Amino acid sequence: MLIAGNWKMFKGPSETRAFADAFDSPEGVDVVICPAYVSLAAAVEGGLTTYAQNVHWAPEGAFTGEISAPMLRELGVQGAIVGHSERRQLFGETDEGVARRAKAALEAGLGVIACVGESEEEREAGQTELIIRLQVESIRDAVGAHERLVIAYEPVWAIGTGKTATSDQAQEVHAFIKGLVDVPVLYGGSVKPENADELLSQTDVDGALVGGASLEVESFTAICRSAARIRS
């Protein structure tokens, strides 16, 4: 069971060090923290298993504002998120670009959490499986069922909205994803201590990509403890 905390654009180095000092990961669960770029070194130095929030497909070059996989490796970062819904929606990332980022990161020896998910309009139009298939197959066709690849299903309508997919909805989509590619699948979308047990106990839910609830040590620890209990 993997629990990943995506801090988005929160916590500079000093706050990251304070979190690392206070956080005690429960036994029996794999925990990853994904801080902002400026806080990666502090997270690594604090003993946290650290992933970046994105990674470019080129090892170097004229790509202002981007970070490469070799740069992350040199810092001691162990992986990266790719294709988060905010990157797709706000910064125009495409299925092709996400697949290229995933491929480059895996080839460089990093782990990858590749995000997929449908919007509220797409779900209401009955297009959930179509959208998920297009996104997952783009990644699968680029890298296959790689041993360091994890898919995160994050329904866009449940990101930062307080809405959460029901456990049955999550299970249904997770099973569909696993029918497309044989890798672990995390659920991401307003995961909180209050709903962690129900979501994580579903057969095809292999962990969680946690947003806002990962910023506070107490709430993130509670989610990790839920995962550890279910795994045991």
**Could you give the count of Cα atoms lying within 13 Å of 98 in the half-sphere of its Cβ?**
30
Residue 160 falls in which region: left (phi positive, over 0), alpha (psi -120 to 50) or beta = left
Mark whether 154 is an active-site residue: yes
Mark whether 146 is an active-site residue: no
Q: CA nearest 51: which of 14, 10, 6, 85? A: 6
The catalytically annotated residue of 86, 93, 118, 154 is 154
**Could you give the count of Cα atoms lying within 13 Å of 110 in the half-sphere of its Cβ?**
34
Residues in the chain: 232
The catalytically annotated residue of 84, 93, 146, 174 is 84
Report the catalytic residues: 84, 154
